[in-house]
A and B are shown apart, each in its own frame.
Chain A
Amino acid sequence: MKSHDLIIIGGGPAGLAAALSARRAGVQDVLILERDHVLGGILNQCIHNGFGLHTFKEELTGPEYAARFIAQVKEENIPYRLGATVISISREKLVTYVSREDGLVQVQAKALILAMGCRERPRGALNIPGSRPAGIFSAGTAQRLMNIEGYQVGKEVVILGSGDIGLIMARRMTLEGAKVKVVAELMPYSGGLKRNIVQCLDDFGIPLKLSHTVVEIHGKERLTGITLAQVDENRRPIAGTEEYYACDTLLLSVGLLPENELTRALDVTMSRVTNGPEVDDRLQTDCEGVFACGNVLHVHDLVDYVSEEAALAGKNAAAYILTQQTAGKTVPITADGGVRYTVPQKLDPENMADSVTIRFRVADVYRDRYICVYCNGERIRRIKKRVLAPGEMEQVILKKSELKQPLASIRICTEVE
């Protein structure tokens, strides 16, 4: 059986950045396994601009951003297998993949990095009554059909869900000549970036209806229309507010789920909030030598943060391989008071780096609040925020020097005045 020091599962932006950083930290024997026939992951279909402002100080499109990392991976001669779908991994870091060229292959690794990304919540997960005629797509599927395959997806469109992919697709379809009639959002706020609401909806006069949902789907073979209704604070449709929209296409942009089927077999602790594995400050899962980064860990809205996080995972995987550094005793990071989760979920106060970035999301739109960090019950940070929104990932950088030793607890929350 073949063996490698480090195997990275997934060749999207997370896998690429992790591979580069591990190689630069001194690990020669790295292998990337990617099931698609190209590297770059979901970025290949995200042809709009707005990627890389943090990393490259310029606005790139998804494929351009990916190409910069792919070029570096090729320069460093990091081996990768395309068309290689990993079908199982074990706690002993035995990886099984299938590919047309190699058939069924087992490879042994010293360390693994999980970088499988996420996929869209399937439409079956939605409870919309009515038949299931043709013309209903997830927004990401529509994005792939248009941008990679070159299909015209529809002419009269309604979009349910105001996440970024839905907003981007509203503009994309409008530019291609379709009429996007409305974007409906169940929540009283949009999950998308402000910039996308302005440049994808406002620019083209597309209305955004907050606190609205699709209550009925019409049409037998092909979609002919949908009924929209307003919802109350418990997200239940309000009788009498129904409105009919004729349309041939309904796009669903209702959220992303980290792709963790493989991870589950490792029997590691999973977070019920992120749907990804729980990790420590080195981005290591509770199976030693298995690290995670990118959308498989938690859903990101900015690819720059994916690359940054992945570089850290790569560096730490390298340290694990080269120094056999084992995990120390960790302290959990508690999220409450409007903070839904944190990544990492725990921290090793003794062996942590000089500073550790804690990323998190809030539960609702808050105005004029403070992000507070408590350490052993004592407040060590209080950062004023004019606005916090679930759609925008937040972060605090904790310095080792400011944490009380011995560290017993860390808590991150939001507070009013």
Chain B
Amino acid sequence: MRELTCIGCPLGCSLRVFEEDGNLRVEGNTCPRGETYAKNEVLCPKRTVTSTVAIRGGTVNRLSVRTQTDIPKDRIFACMEEIKAISVDAPVMIGDVVLPDVAGTGVALIATKNVPKE
């Protein structure tokens, strides 16, 4: 059994997810969105990762980045390891690909800030 808090709306229902003969049963949800949320959270939880990387020759020395889409939650720290290891050169525009495939997720890491050359 897993306990979760639904983030679907401010009500924040406390959900309990039970696994029964390979099926998931959700309790505590007030509306169907809670059930969908709980099942996704148990089967394949995903998150967007945001951070910064070092940038050389720009007007600032940190470039903010994010994963282009959600990545599996259990890849977050692997993703952070790769983010910490890299640095880029200015200029960079929003949406520029910083890493094409971060931590083997098939998802790109993209810039979220425009950093012109110094």
Contacts and interface: CB of A to CB of B under 8 A. Distances in A.
Contacts of A175: 49, 51, 76-77, 80
B67 to A, nearest CB: 9
Interface stretch (B3-11, B16-24, B96-104): B3-11
A34 B54 CA distance: 27
B62 A148 contact: yes
A148 B12 contact: no
Interface in A34-69: 44, 47-49, 59-61, 63-64, 67
B113 A67 contact: yes
A29 interface: no
Interface in A365-409: 386-387, 389, 392
> Top 5 A-B pairs ranked by shortest CB distance?
A47-B64, A150-B62, A63-B113, A195-B7, A194-B12
Contacts of B10: 194, 387, 389, 392
Contact of B61 (A150, A386, A389): A150
B86 interface: no
Given A150-B62, A176-B80, A194-B5, 15 more contacts: A47-B112, A49-B48, A59-B48, A60-B112, A63-B64, A67-B114, A150-B52, A175-B49, A175-B51, A175-B76, A197-B5, A198-B4, A198-B7, A199-B7, A199-B47
B80 A387 contact: no
Contacts of A48: 50
A28 to B, nearest CB: 27
Contacts of A49: 48, 50, 66
B45 to A, nearest CB: 8
Contacts of A203: 47, 73
Given A63-B112, A198-B5, A387 B11 contact: yes
A221 interface: no
Given A47-B52, A175-B80, A61 B112 contact: yes
A60 B76 CA distance: 19
A354 interface: no
Interface in A272-300: none
A224 interface: no
B60 interface: yes
A64 B94 CA distance: 7
Interface string A112-156: 000000000000000000000000000000000011111000000
Interface residues of A, number: 30
A92 interface: no
Contacts of B5: 194, 197-198, 202
A107 B43 CA distance: 61
A2 to B, nearest CB: 28
A189 to B, nearest CB: 11
A150 B54 contact: yes
Given A47-B64, A47-B112, A387-B11, A147 B52 contact: yes
A304 to B, nearest CB: 16
Contacts of A389: 10
B86 to A, nearest CB: 13
Interface in A192-233: 194-195, 197-199, 202-203
A147 B62 contact: yes
B53 to A, nearest CB: 9
A59 B48 CA distance: 10
A193 to B, nearest CB: 8
A176 B51 CA distance: 9
Interface string B24-39: 0000001000000000
Interface in B43-85: 47-52, 54, 60-62, 64, 66, 73, 76-77, 80
B116 to A, nearest CB: 11
A305 B54 CA distance: 32
A389 B4 CA distance: 20
B94 A194 contact: no
